[in-house]
Amino acid sequence: MYIRKDGYYKLAKQQGYRSRASFKLMQLNDSYHIIRHGIRVLDVGAAPGGWMQVLLTAVGKTGTVVGIDILDIPPIHAPNAVIIKGDIQDPAVRQQALAAIGRKFDTVVSDTSINISGNAAADTARNLELSHAILASLPDLLKTSGNFLIKLFYSTELKSFLTLTRTYFTQVYMTKPPASRSSSSELYLIGKGFQPVPPVSGTAGDR
Ligand SMILES: C[S@@+](CC[C@H](N)C(=O)[O-])C[C@H]1O[C@@H](n2cnc3c(N)ncnc32)[C@H](O)[C@@H]1O
């Protein structure tokens, strides 16, 4: 079924999703299968909780979803949903997320975007800096062979981020789901098969 881009807003309201972004995650997961029943997922930049709703359905009762945001995430009444208010760049916040499940996550997803200042170049640079900080925190958060999804904003500097990501994941994809407005510079990177130590040529890289 074809849905007009702005139709996703209406659809989100009708179906009880907290944001139209929920449909982007559904479409990404339909194509890349990074969320499975029973897994533990960390959702970075989770407010107001639209992705958390989709994740909770996908992981089912035996999985867990931990959402982090610097803003308040309105309560989600599910025993397997954990909400943390804080900055992902703060090691204490990351520790709190790990403590909630007692081990590393199977999948980390991030839909973060900074509070825009209006200066497009500066905003893009700050978003990329945040994306680098999230990528750098993966060895603490994501299990070996785990999966990663992150929203990025197009810029010429994105190439170095992509190159770095390729050293950590056995498969890397860039895509824009149908629910993402064509006028937006956002795109999504999917990394599958996390290797915490970038492989040195001639070694397995997974130590
Ligand atoms: C587009 S919204 C996320 C929407 C969410 N995926 C949903 O479906 O409801 C981006 C979020 O990233 C959050 N954010 C930005 N910087 C952050 C940081 N350093 N740590 C945690 N969250 C952050 C913002 O507060 C904002 O709520």
pLDDT digits (tens, 9 = 90+) for 123-163: 999 999 999 999 999 999 999 999 999 999 999 999 999 99
32 CA distance to ligand 1 centroid (A)?
22
Question: What sign for the dihedral angle of Cα 54, 188, 172, 205?
Answer: negative
Residue 52 lies in a domain: yes
Task: Report the alpha-carbon distance of residue 160 to residue 158 in Å, rounded.
Answer: 6
Write out the residue range of the structural domain in which residue 137 sits: 7-194
Residue 206 falls inside a structural domain: no
Q: What is the pLDDT of residue 6?
A: 73
Number of structural domains (the chain) is: 1
Specify if 94 maps to a domain: yes
The Å distance, Cα 70 to ligand 1 centre, comes to 7
What pLDDT does 104 receive? 98
What distance in Å separates the CA atoms of residue 94 and residue 100, rounded to the nearest whole number? 10
What's the DSSP call for residue 122?
H
Q: Of residues 151, 159, 176, 192, which has the active-site annotation?
A: 151
Taking the alpha carbons at both ends of the chain, their separation in whole angstroms is 46
pLDDT of res. 200: 64
Residue 24 lies in a domain: yes
2 in a structural domain: no
Q: Find the CATH number of the domain harbouring 188.
A: 3.40.50.150
Contact 64, 101 (CB under 8 A): yes
Token code pair at residue 169: 């994941």
Is 50 near ligand 1, meaning CB less than 6 Å away? yes
pLDDT number for residue 3? 57
Asked if residue 69 is part of any domain, the answer here is yes
**Active site (annotated) includes residue 85:** no
Report the C-alpha gap between 163 and 95 in whole angstroms.
28
Domain membership flag for residue 199 = no
Tell me how far apart the alpha carbons of residues 116 and 132 are, in angstroms, rounded to a whole number.
18
Query: Is the beta carbon of 152 within 6 A of some atom in ligand 1?
Result: no
Confidence at residue 205, expressed as pLDDT on a 0 to 100 scale: 41
From the CA of 22, give the closest atom in ligand 1.
8
Instruction: For residue 1, tell me if it sits in a domain.
Output: no
Which parts of the chain have pLDDT scores under 70?
1-5, 198-207
Q: Give alpha helix (H) positions in 47-178.
A: 50-59, 91-101, 120-141, 158-168
Q: In the numeric block, which tokens belong to residue 74?
A: 């309105």
